[in-house]
Structure 1
């Protein structure tokens, strides 16, 4: 029971921007925001993408889903991912940006970071300095993506946070935690990519 409560608290903090969690793991919203603390005062004036950061070929307009972040995934998609009746936690004014979390034995969160407008450049700048775990992933439907975190929690916790560039200045963050019964069956970052692919499809075509 305590473990389940800890996981639930972790998931809620992921969208609430908590400064810490009972597990000691920084939340996705907090992590997405950290590069901003070292960003220049006027990021809008900066050229993006920065050195070594892949360019987004076909920008997507995320306005609709930012206004209604729990529509990032359809009911059918959530049922397919988590089963029936997962707990839903909307955070339209989350500390790291508008987002939504869905919690069952496994957990999924989608956040649209609004800390700055440097897109994936913020995440690349935090590589090694803040994110000891940083892995460039194969593009998701043509959109550049990275997995990141203070630590690599894939094997130990079945967790992965990924950021996908939807324009040179915007990203969508997908965070997942696998259920204990299925940890080790699939790389959590592959699972996060699968979720991101669904979100991008919904961004492009609506529901």
Structure 2
């Protein structure tokens, strides 16, 4: 027969264990043996681009990127010398079309597509969004399609406008001054957005 003292000692030990369990944080389940921190992924809410409500098929323009702008649009935007560019390592091997804005080739615009990227504009949110709020990162919409305007440097010698055409595809317009001696006072981001708007008009007309 167990003595009263032993029973009291056992009950005290059990109570202490219960209190310790209540005060402790639950142990997360073990999902692997690596202790390396998991980087941000497109599943993080802050890295998710808005959904595209009316997806567009852009395969025609991936195959022929210089068809992204019509002759009339090129004249209106003052873009010259279109040249196909394929297989650059940047942005996961984009295909695109390069344009000049003056005969000296110091002012350039690019329209690029990214067939190897499968998460659309979310790729830009994950890969390019700054860690802290920045005036050089501006989510927006162009004709109802989610877009981001972003400049990698404060002087805005280069500005990007990326537009989601579906939840798995997007295109990028880059407007770039190679030589500020040729700067004519225009806002590179506003100029890139004008080109992106024209490209989106062409894509929509083909769908």
Deviation readout 1:14-55 (Å, 9 max, x if unpaired):
xxxxxxxxxxxxxxxxxxxxxxxx787xxxxx7698755211
Give the structure 2 partner of residue 112 of structure 1: 113
Q: May I ask how many residue pairs the two structures share in their alignment?
A: 159
Q: Taking structure 1 as reference, are residues 52 and 68 closer, same or farther at Cα in structure 2, changes over 3 Å only?
A: closer
Q: Distance in 1 between matches of 2:169 and 2:40?
A: 15
Kindly indicate whether residue 142 of structure 2 is the aligned counterpart of residue 140 of structure 1. yes
Give the structure 1 partner of residue 82 of structure 2: 88
Gap regions ≥5 residues in structure 1: 1-37, 41-45
TM superposition shift of 1:94:
3.9
Deviation readout 1:155-192 (Å, 9 max, x if unpaired):
xx2x311111111111100011368555434x321211
What TM-score, normalized to structure 2?
0.64
Gap regions ≥5 residues in structure 2: 1-38
- Confirm or deny: 8 A CA contact 2:50 2:146 kept in the other structure: yes
- Confirm or deny: 8 A CA contact 1:133 1:150 kept in the other structure: no
Q: Taking structure 1 as reference, are residues 182 and 151 closer, same or farther at Cα in structure 2, changes over 3 Å only?
A: closer
- Confirm or deny: 8 A CA contact 2:137 2:151 kept in the other structure: no
CA RMSD of aligned residues (A): 3.2
**Secondary structure at 1:119 match in 2:** coil
- Confirm or deny: 8 A CA contact 1:70 1:90 kept in the other structure: yes
- Confirm or deny: 8 A CA contact 1:119 1:168 kept in the other structure: yes
Give the structure 1 partner of residue 20 of structure 2: none
Q: Distance in 2 between matches of 1:68 and 1:92?
A: 10
Q: Distance in 2 between matches of 1:152 and 1:166?
A: 28
**Whose Rg is larger?**
2
Deviation readout 1:54-78 (Å, 9 max, x if unpaired):
1111111001111100000112211
**Secondary structure at 2:122 match in 1:** helix
Q: Distance in 2 between matches of 1:65 and 1:48?
A: 30
**Secondary structure at 1:167 match in 2:** coil
**Secondary structure at 2:165 match in 1:** strand
Q: Distance in 2 between matches of 1:171 and 1:49?
A: 19
Q: Distance in 2 between matches of 1:48 and 1:141?
A: 26
Q: Distance in 2 between matches of 1:143 and 1:68?
A: 22
Q: Distance in 2 between matches of 1:39 and 1:113?
A: 21
- Confirm or deny: 8 A CA contact 1:82 1:107 kept in the other structure: no
